[in-house]
Amino acid sequence: MAFPTTSLVADDAEIVRRVLAHIDAGTTDEGATWREPVDNYLNPGRFAEELRLLRALPSVFVPSATIPNPGDHVERTVFGVPLFAVRGRDRRARVFRNACRHRGFALVEAAGCSRALVCRYHGWTYRLDGSLSHVPHADAFPDLDMSARGLVEVTSREVDGLIVIDALDPAAADGNEAMRWLTDGTPWRDKLLPAQRFVYADSTLRAMNWKVLVEQFLEGYHIRSTHKDTFYPVQYDDLNVVETFGPNCRITFPYRNIERLRDRPESTWTTDARVTYLYQLFPNVMLATFPDLILMVAIDPVDVDHSTVVMYSMVRPPRGDGAERASRDPGPNNPEGAVSFIARGAVEDNEMSAGVQRGLHAGANAFVEFGRHESAIGHFHATLDARLAGFTAAQRR
């Protein structure tokens, strides 16, 4: 299909116009309702089908900001497959399966910077481009072809501040269109690229289905009841602008200070520090904008009842003292620290999602109900169902 050359989402002035109109009318963007069967969250067979699909789709791996310099590397397990990204001496970002070609030991165990990649088990050594450069006591491997035993690369592309990986199961790959929707960065480019300084990452295993975790990001219907002392005093309850572009979507969460723009010329309108944009990049990654801070959240399914949530924090220049402290301090001064505004809101969201997960097992409901004000969630599930149906049909042929 042909992709447009202009942005796939509204500009700042149009977003402000739509938000102010909703404030005046007491309305919000509306869409189709959706009913998701409870069995789709709890059935191990359905989960296995989803995992096979996810491995056949491209996905966002990490922000470019996590590996700014040659030798920088970062690891993450994606859909059950351990991977790592490394910046080469040629400044190209490459993604590899995280296994030494000798005995399969995980080559990269944490984020860092190295001149070469050395297996901690037996010392096999790889250049930053993945080629095998040294084997201790090489005479013990008389049939070893070092040129053929480099690290196994996963096809990836770096564009608009993101490193995007191709399907992890190339034999079952779901075509190129999905990759194009993740590498046309016009919807998020001007929001993400200024956040060039990576400050913090966190990985947490949570006892929730991956779709329950995705859902918590995709509506503002819960702001007043869930976030009455955190987000609600500065944001609006049940007031969002929802835009879809292909399988992805963007939800605008306006701050109350947006009304200060009413008496200013529209030519000066900007959403900076007046909204949070939440980009859901199908299937499992969210980008969230805050004043001077960008978060990327990746939700990796583990099993039907567990997911790993990986969060990357990036800041925009100029960096003040608070940001400098955050880069050194994993505690309260960090953007994800225990006392930070964003972290307190995240704790509240996770409490609600944990309650949903428990309730799914109660046997009270045959389906989960999503109303017209939660249409981004319906879009996510409809996209997943359509991709799953197409994938299953293709596998049967």
Q: What is the mean pLDDT of residues 317-346?
A: 55
Q: Is the pTM of this model over 0.85?
A: yes
Q: How is residue 327 written in tokens? A: 């880069």
CA distance linking residue 329 with residue 333, whole number of Å: 6
For residue 330, what pLDDT is reported? 42
CA distance linking residue 389 with residue 284, whole number of Å: 18
Q: Indicate the SS3 state at residue 273.
A: coil
Angle CA 272–16–21, to nearest 5: 150
Residue 115 phi, psi (nearest 5): -75, -25
pLDDT band at 177 (very low <50, low <70, confident <90, very high): confident
**pLDDT at 278 exceeding the cut of 80:** yes
For residue 331, what pLDDT is reported? 42
- Strand order of the sheet with strand 156-159? 59-63, 162-165, 156-159
CA distance linking residue 281 with residue 217, whole number of Å: 12
Domains recognised in the chain with CATH numbers: 12-56+187-396 (3.90.380.10), 61-165 (2.102.10.10)
Q: How is residue 30 written in tokens? A: 């509306």
**Residue 319 near residue 95, CB atoms below 8 Å:** no
For residue 324, what pLDDT is reported? 41
- pLDDT tens digits, one per residue of 186-205: 999 999 999 889 999 999 99
- pLDDT tens digits, one per residue of 132-148: 999 999 999 999 999 99
For residue 6, what pLDDT is reported? 65
- pLDDT tens digits, one per residue of 28-57: 999 999 999 999 999 999 999 999 999 999
For residue 2, what pLDDT is reported? 45
**pLDDT at 89 exceeding the cut of 80:** yes
Q: How is residue 258 written in tokens? A: 């947006």
pLDDT band at 313 (very low <50, low <70, confident <90, very high): very high
- pLDDT tens digits, one per residue of 354-395: 999 999 999 999 999 999 999 999 999 999 999 999 998 888
Q: Which residue has the higher pLDDT, 313 or 316?
A: 313
- pLDDT tens digits, one per residue of 217-234: 999 999 999 999 999 999
Give DSSP secondary structure letters for 309-338.
Answer: EEEEEEEPSSP-HHHHHHHH-SSTTSTTST
- pLDDT tens digits, one per residue of 151-165: 999 999 999 999 999
For residue 170, what pLDDT is reported? 74
* Percent of the chain residues past pLDDT 70, beyond the cut: 92
Q: Indicate the SS3 state at residue 85.
A: strand
Mean pLDDT of the chain: 92
Q: What is the mean pLDDT of residues 63-85?
A: 98
For residue 319, what pLDDT is reported? 47
For residue 340, what pLDDT is reported? 81
Burial of 339 (0-12, 13-18, 19+ CB in 10 A): exposed
For residue 374, what pLDDT is reported? 98
For residue 173, what pLDDT is reported? 63
Largest CA distance in the chain: 78
**pLDDT at 90 exceeding the cut of 50:** yes
* Percent of the chain residues past pLDDT 90, beyond the cut: 85
Residue 17 phi, psi (nearest 5): -60, -45
Q: Across the chain, where does the E strand assignment appear?
A: 34-37, 59-63, 72-78, 81-87, 93-97, 112-113, 117-118, 125-126, 132-134, 153-154, 156-159, 162-165, 197-206, 241-245, 248-254, 275-281, 285-290, 293-303, 306-315, 367-370
CA distance linking residue 16 with residue 266, whole number of Å: 9
pLDDT band at 338 (very low <50, low <70, confident <90, very high): very low
For residue 180, what pLDDT is reported? 92
